[in-house]
Amino acid sequence: MGDEHDRGTGSGTDGSPDLGGAESVDEPGAPRFGWWPSPFSAEAVAAGRISRGGLHADGDEFVWTESRPAQGGRQVVVRSGPDGTSTVVSPPGVSVRSRVHEYGGGAALCVHGAVYYVDQDDQGWYRFDPVSDQPPLVLTAGTTGRSSSRRSGDGRLTRDGRWLVFVEEEAERSWTEHRIVAVATDGAGRREVLVEGGGFVAAPRPSPDGAWLSWVSWAHPSMSWDSSELRLARLVDDGGSIRVEGERSVAGGGPCSVGQPRWLSDGSLLFADDRTGWWLPYRLAVDATGPSGDDGGPSRSRARALIDDRAEFHAPDWLLGQSTMVELPDASIVCRARRDGTDRLVRLAPTPSAEQGHWSGSVIDQPCVTVTGVAATGSGRLALTGSTPFEAQVVVEVCPAGEGPPHRLSADRGRPAEGRAPGRGASGGRRMMAEGPTEVSIARSHDVSTAWGVLPGLYVPPGNPPVGTPVNGRPPLVVFCHGGPTASAEPGFDPVVQFFTSRGLAVAVVDYRGSAGYGRNYRRSLDGGWGALDVDDCIAYARGMADAGWVDGDRMAIRGTSAGGLTALGALIRSRCFRGAVAWYGVTDLEALATDTHDFESHYLETLVGSWPQAMSVYRSRSPLRHPDLVTGSVLLLQGTDDPVVPADQSVRFARSLVDHGADCRIHLFDGESHGFRRADTIASALTMELEFYRRLFGGEAG
């Protein structure tokens, strides 16, 4: 498949891959890969899949949302004070989660100690005082249950705090509308629609002086990362009502994508724009008269990039409320920047020629290789959410000037600590707290050369080998296909990856064409090719690793979640490379997805596959459901019954068709689960089933 080259560490002195003591031939009596005893139990991994997001500052404290897998996936709001003490400040028993676009995000906001949150059950906004004995105050009326037609998220207060401005999605059986709405924060129920009728909206941000409202908009068939606009309008608040006037586009549109508008202390507007092919930070000057000088509004030409770089300072907005750029008190700006698959934290400072777009940049020392959020307090405290090579989903405070070590704010290390195992490699422990590289397999950046170009990805070698025991040969490989398909391989600690590598399986995560983090051209390189190019890339990556001697080419499997499920299943049709495939809530029928999914992605396939129904033959040729007779390996399907994105019927029909054609297929439906499993018992059961599936594929006896 061409030359491979490792961008990370772990190669032997002769240039061969370091397989942790593995020999090139089997040694009789040694425990087989895949059967090693592991300290990572399925239950511990499930409990440790804690998600954290929505990081922001309130006064001199940091606030974020945090999931509780052991409580059915409930989400709470957590506040951390200057002393590092973390406290849950959302009401007991309430799950805080938005369902806008089904993926949600931006479900909570804390201002002056008050918690504004979206109740998962009715999708209404509430105001809650955690130090009072009063019940939450209803701001918007909701309807109980998943049938709620109005969904809310991504709220911000106006200057005087009298209005909460937010995104509202109203989804009925035959239509869906998206609006920006303002609701009074006193509980009186006053409601004003500010923006509607223009497709999708996100990130409504009132200016600090109360004069402007900025937001992002886009329309079908584009997704926001394909083509979106930054819009601006005057915000008119006459006391009893609020409205916008003079709406206009100030950036983006056409082939450009924008995101993350944020008002700076000098009244200018910061945002991300990929007009150069890379999402870079831009600054637009806005004043009371407007820089255009004729109509009181800023002109598109006045926006200036703060830095010229081949890095991504933004990511696809699958969730509302993305925030990876923040201003410090000295007017410098801290940003997350992704380059070559790894995140850095960059501080941009204005120079005397800042008005011409010349800002100086420096890297802030911090422990995370994946950064998902950044926040700063008025006093200059800086925090981020992300994952290190040894901890998942941590909230950590760092020093902007690098004068001190990082300090973890989240209550644990991003995964549960359930007591140390009796010894390294012992089977009785359920510990998920890794002390260092002896217990964790570190992801290594690895490129594979293909006929079309360099294919990036991550290789995670087996870890936790039994002490003092030689290991049998080259390890089996499980290829992970990320979802989206616009997502990316994340180098930070992933407990699911460790669940497999700690048992002797190698893992590869492929940034196939279409993945984010490598610029616009790479992100758009999957257009028209989904279900083919991504599949071929994963096949090429696996074969390249086998040809290089890193893994056993006769024992390889592939797995994917959501869109990645289509890729994994397609690999069993387009090749004989893999013995089997696992799909978690995976796509099997592109025709059904084009006609029976939620509004957010209802036209996404027009870009990824082709116009519907004109390209019906292409949809059918790339749908695994249409080719059960061509599937060359075993299949395991794991699916939630309440999935609105990829309905369970897709998996059920595919499983039935495979069995009818004599294929080896197993399916398990999880009642009450949606798109993305959230309950700890579901995740533990799914992981156990998946591990047994690989053991059956790869053979061997327990060591």
3-state secondary structure 651-700: HHHHHHHHHHCCCCEEEEEECCCCCCCCCHHHHHHHHHHHHHHHHHHHCC
Which of 94-108, 420-434, 664-678 is predicted least confidently?
A: 420-434
pLDDT at 287: 78
Average pLDDT of 337-347? Answer: 96
Two tokens, residue 468: 């003092």
Look-up of token digits 């959410």: 385
pLDDT at 469: 63
pLDDT digit string (tens) for 504-518? 999 999 999 999 999
Average pLDDT of 520-542? Answer: 97
pLDDT at 472: 61
- Determine the angle formed by the axes of helices 563-574 and 533-547, rounding to 10 degrees: 70
Does residue 444 have a pLDDT over 80? yes
pLDDT at 286: 92
pLDDT digit string (tens) for 174-232? 789 999 999 999 999 999 999 998 899 999 999 999 999 999 999 999 999 999 999 99
Specify the CATH number for 4-45+430-698; select among 3.50.50.60, 1.10.3720.10, 3.20.20.120, 3.40.50.1820.
Answer: 3.40.50.1820
Average pLDDT of 53-79? Answer: 95
pLDDT digit string (tens) for 457-512? 999 999 888 776 666 689 999 999 999 999 999 999 999 999 999 999 999 999 99
Average pLDDT of 610-628? Answer: 96
Query: Is the alpha carbon torsion for 21, 26, 32, 33 positive or negative?
Result: positive
DSSP state of 11: B
Does residue 168 have a pLDDT over 60? yes
Q: How confident is the model at residue 288 (pLDDT cuts 50, 70, 90)?
A: low
Angle subtended at Cα 274 by Cα 560 and Cα 490, rounded to the nearest 5 degrees: 30
For residues 25 and 31, give the distance between their C-alpha atoms in angstroms, rounded to a whole number.
Answer: 13
Two tokens, residue 619: 């949809």
Does residue 146 have a pLDDT over 90? no
Give the β-pairing of 304-305 and 258-263. Answer: unpaired
199 close to 220: Cβ distance less than 8 angstroms:
yes
For residues 489 and 103, give the distance between their C-alpha atoms in angstroms, rounded to a whole number.
Answer: 19
For residues 151 and 301, give the distance between their C-alpha atoms in angstroms, rounded to a whole number.
Answer: 36
Residues 6 or more apart whose CB falls under 8 angstroms from that of 611 comprise none
pLDDT at 354: 57
Query: Does 415 or 281 have the greater pLDDT score?
Result: 281
Alpha helix stretches (DSSP H) within 225-370: none
For residues 610 and 174, give the distance between their C-alpha atoms in angstroms, rounded to a whole number.
Answer: 23
| Chain-centroid distance, C-alpha 131 | 33
pLDDT digit string (tens) for 577-586? 999 999 999 9
Question: How many residues belong to the chain?
Answer: 703
Burial 611-633 (b: 16+ CB within 10 A, else e): ebeebeebbeebbbbbbbeebbb
Q: How many other CB atoms are found less than 10 A from the CB of residue 135?
A: 10
* Strands ordered across the beta sheet of 304-305: 258-263, 269-273, 280-284, 304-305
pLDDT at 433: 38
For residues 624 and 637, give the distance between their C-alpha atoms in angstroms, rounded to a whole number.
Answer: 13
Two tokens, residue 291: 């820089």
For residues 640 and 187, give the distance between their C-alpha atoms in angstroms, rounded to a whole number.
Answer: 37
Q: How many other CB atoms are found less than 10 A from the CB of residue 669?
A: 15
Alpha helix stretches (DSSP H) within 115-161: none
Look at residue 359 and give its three-state secondary structure: strand
Burial 465-489 (b: 16+ CB within 10 A, else e): bbeeeebbbbbbbbbbbbbbbbbbb
Burial bucket for residue 319 (CB in 10 Å: 0-12, 13-18, 19+): buried
Share of the chain above pLDDT 70, in %: 87
Q: Domain map of the chain by residue range?
A: 4-45+430-698
DSSP-assigned states of every residue in 92-124: TT--B---TTTT-B--EEEETTEEEEEBTTT--
Q: How confident is the model at residue 5 (pLDDT cuts 50, 70, 90)?
A: very low
pLDDT digit string (tens) for 352-406? 765 666 799 999 999 999 999 999 999 999 999 999 999 999 999 999 987 789 9
* Helix, strand counts (H, E) of the chain: 10, 37
Look-up of token digits 């990320």: 482
**Rounded to two decimals, what is the model's pTM?**
0.89
Does residue 25 have a pLDDT over 80? no
Average pLDDT of 1-12? Answer: 34
Which of 13-17, 45-49, 184-188, 422-426 is predicted least confidently?
A: 422-426
pLDDT digit string (tens) for 28-44? 445 677 788 898 999 99
DSSP state of 539: H
Q: How confident is the model at residue 700 (pLDDT cuts 50, 70, 90)?
A: low
pLDDT at 375: 98
